Chains A and B, each alone.
Chain A
Amino acid sequence: MLQEESDLSLIIAQIVQKLKGSNLYAQLERQAWASLQRPEIKLESLKEDIKEFFKISGWEKKLQNAVYSELSVFPLPSHPAAPPEHLKEPLVYMRKAQGSWEKRILKSLNSMCTELSIPLARKRPVGEQKELLNKWNEMGTDEPDLSLFRPVYAPKDFLEVLINLRNPNYENGDSLSFRTHLGLIQVPLKVKDIPELKEFFVELGLTSGQLGIDDSTQVPPELFENEHVRIGQKVLTEQDSAAAQQYVRQGSPTALRAELWALILNISSHPEDILYYEQLKTNVIQHDLLVDSLIYKDVKLTASNDDYYFVFEDYLYQVLLCFSRDTSVLSHFAYNSASPPKSYIRGKLGLEEYAVFYPPNGVIPFHGFSMYVAPLCFLYHEPSKLYQIFREMYVRFFFRLHSISSHPSGIVSLCLLFETLLQTYLPQLFYHLREIGAQPLRISFKWMVRAFSGYLATDQLLLLWDRILGYNSLEILAVLAAAVFAFRAVNLMEVTSLAAAEAVLADLSTLKVMPLLQIFLFATVT
């Protein structure tokens, strides 16, 4: 008990520390001062009266949401004496692996830079700045020569690194036993099994209504949909983050989704936020970064070729170019196992005073990165709001999909969860695929790294991301991947090569996500 209490007070202290520097704190202070004018605030009971005032005016709710937001992102409690690296990643071998992966990426970036003799960053001449400002809303019409640029890495390169991850302290011996893991990932992390997943995802069970199942045209809306929409509207009126998060576990109605996600992520568009975005835009106009070309290339290769997202091409540039200049993103590296790459001013290599993070936000985009943004364009049309939502989604969830860590929502755990589920509950299929040289993870990896963006139909993808937000976890991606394999198991048992297996699983656009998840978790005999 004592340990828990001191953990709790540690967390409280840290959250208070964080919030003290935030805009919300300044606003609360102002509100408190202004409230002194009010007749119901009496000197004798100043503290209680102000608290009461905050409660009635909705400011307490805002504070609650902010605290809840911090708790959602906050790393698990650790020993007060633990060094900061442990907050990023407690396991040494994981940290080392991430470190050497980063070195490789940076080397690749630097060599591209030298090969093409393009500086990592340069200031744009005034004429170019003017031109870019004019074209800001239609950057997609630009057709710069991108043929010499290659993406820094693709998901399959990252997969190879994960496959080679080993815990030096773990020896499983050469003899095969029923406990041997037959998949590609060979690190001993704890992942949930189906009974634990059933408990974790209890709201997805067969006895609860779901959007994605109980709102289909065959089901009369009185049974579930109408009531669910009504509750959603109530949640929005109350402006309660925690309630919203609980609510979207059963799916979010299309008309309410944009507001609900903003509430869960605690995003509100204050003038300061819009100003901040405008400032980032100015940075983009003034300086050209090498990563900009990588972003362009990625958008052209992925989103622009997508049947549905091509329409939003311009928004993608507006978001991603600003994102790479946003230094506030650097704060997420406190709990990300990755570290931002450092670059040195020319001639001052090694001198810390001349070190800068490159790109300014510390995130080097890879092939497919723009697909994290594309589905959000469906919901948010105002660039600064779209930007804020994407940034928050990135620092809460997406970063875990491309850094090596032991976190249960990290990509390593997701891969292991996927393989374990398949091996445990579909052993015949798993064994067959392995025998023909089609390790299932080789096919499903790209789905999980992209959080299924670009693979599922948009409405299905949004229903899936509802649950990611609702459960504050990415584990559902691994469960869905396994469920897809289970669904197509009959066809997969008949294939005899990796290429044929890929073909069976090439098109996921007709899949309905929620029935698949329900069947896999709750309706399969285990």
Chain B
Amino acid sequence: QSTQGRGVPPYCQQRASIRFKTTLMNTLMDVLRHRPGWVEVKDEGEWDFYWCDVSWLRENFDHTYMGEHVRISHFRNHYELTRKNYMVKNLKRFRKQMEREAGKLEAAKCDFFPKTFEMPCEYHLFVEEFRKNPGITWIMKPVARSQGKGIFLFRRLKDIMDWKKGTAGKKLTSLEAQPARNTVNPSGSHDTRSSDDQKDEIPVENYVAQRYIENPYLIGGRKFDLRVYVLVMSYIPLRAWLYRDGFARFSNTRFTLNSIDDQYVHLTNVAVQKTSPDYHPKKGCKWMLQRFRQYLASKHGPEAVETLFSDMDNIFIRSLQSVQKVIISDKHCFELYGYDILIDQDLKPWLLEVNASPSLTASSQEDYELKTCLLEDTLHVVDMEARLTGREKRVGGFDLMWNDGPVSREEGGPDPSGMGNFVTNTHLGISSNKKKKPCQLHR
């Protein structure tokens, strides 16, 4: 048992100094060290703020007492959103609920993720879908790995035979022999402990098989995806902020469906691209979102771009709503998610995945500045210094996107009728002009 922040009178909101802890040695460390009044604690010292990694969380969260003011950078069961198989399950469930409550049109707004099947347990459902659509390309992704590791594309069932022969396949064969075992709790959440038990029997990795988007939007003949940052301060009620900056990550090589083995063509993570033979570090392969937004506006006009960006807002909000009831909304927790979005040629955005620990290492000077500002503004929103009034709609580069309900760009409350010119308070890809107005109040 360890206790954090004990022995401090609860009325003492303004703290003399804020003790922080983190294991990350990158931009985050720079930002934390330069923040006035913040001191680093190491090892076993007491802390008020911990930017932890997920493994620490898994092992220690449940036995750590945290005082009222203490903040930690992850939600206990964030994997409901960030593990690909759980996210898909939660989204599917949410969609069904939408259809029951609000009809098919509303439910269709949840159609922003490509058809996905969990492997190995949904293997048979997958094969059914596979056979209905011969010739299309599928992508196999491990649920819990990052940076593009373990991902491959396939078009024939033969191609996944090798994978079947590997450890995952062994589990499949054993599953095929047993009746299906349910690891899902009645509330809909997933119990990691029971799946860990299963893990002990046969060490296996879960995958998802997802329909590959074959018509991605290309710029300069290259495929790219968008990295967008969403900060969630609480799930109940849902309070989420959208960061104005982000970037588009390009693959180094031209897109073609001919070479599905060439992961450098299809996978756009910077980590993968860095190992490509074409990669030149000076090149970077990122465009800031502002540049991307301007490029699209000059090609398709401002209205099409507005539509695209509001479709993306829809993705962020609905994905968070789908896990709202299952995530343990601890008031000490906040989380900065990195959303990966893919745009197709019809300018429809697709959700690829949500990252609980988006990379905070900078790949270039511009990237360093982006991440520094992102982290500084995150800390402003977390507000350990108790300076915000709580009525802000904008803090630095963050816009309040959802506050237990939609937040309007205009002054005054949101339009209750749901019609009219409601425009969400988001400004993705529009510059911040930080120096001028760091906070904007709403009445």
Contacts and interface: CB of A to CB of B under 8 A. Distances in A.
Given A141-B253, A255-B297, A305 B282 contact: yes
A430 B131 CA distance: 76
Nearest to B253: A141
B219 A218 contact: no
Given A138-B254, A141-B254, A315 B298 contact: no
Nearest to B304: A255
Nearest to A138: B254
Interface in A449-471: 458-459
A312 B253 CA distance: 12
Given A307-B366, A311-B250, A458 B302 contact: no
Given A138-B221, A311-B222, A258 B298 contact: yes
B259 to A, nearest CB: 12
Interface string A458-498: 11000000000000000000000000000000000000000
A297 to B, nearest CB: 15
A208 interface: no
Contacts of B221: 137-138, 314
Nearest to A316: B220
Given A308-B291, A314-B254, A458-B294, A218 B433 contact: yes
Contacts of A257: 298
A308 B221 CA distance: 14
A518 interface: no
A118 B222 CA distance: 34
A217 B10 CA distance: 41
B297 A254 contact: yes
Chain B interface SS verdict (over half): mixed
Contacts of B282: 305
Contacts of B297: 254-255
Contacts of A138: 221, 253-254
A458 B83 CA distance: 38
Interface residues of A, number: 27
Interface string B279-297: 0101111110001001101
B193 interface: no
A304 interface: yes
Most chain B beta-carbon contacts within 10 A, residue among A217, A257, A304: A217
Contacts of A140: 254
Contact of A304 (B283, B299, B364, B433): B283
Interface in B240-257: 250, 253-254
Contacts of A68: none
Given A254-B294, A255-B301, A308-B287, A218 B436 contact: yes
Most chain B beta-carbon contacts within 10 A, residue among A138, A310, A315: A310
Interface of A: 137-138, 140-141, 216-218, 254-255, 257-258, 304-305, 307-308, 310-315, 377-379, 381, 458-459
Given A254-B297, A459-B294, 5 more contacts: A138-B254, A255-B301, A255-B302, A257-B298, A307-B287
27 contacts: A137-B221, A138-B254, A141-B253, A216-B433, A254-B294, A254-B302, A255-B297, A255-B301, A304-B283, A305-B280, A307-B283, A307-B284, A307-B286, A308-B287, A308-B291, A310-B283, A311-B250, A311-B287, A314-B221, A314-B254, A315-B220, A377-B220, A378-B295, A379-B298, A381-B299, A458-B294, A459-B294
Interface of B: 219-222, 250, 253-254, 278, 280, 282-287, 291, 294-295, 297-299, 301-302, 364, 366, 430-431, 433, 436
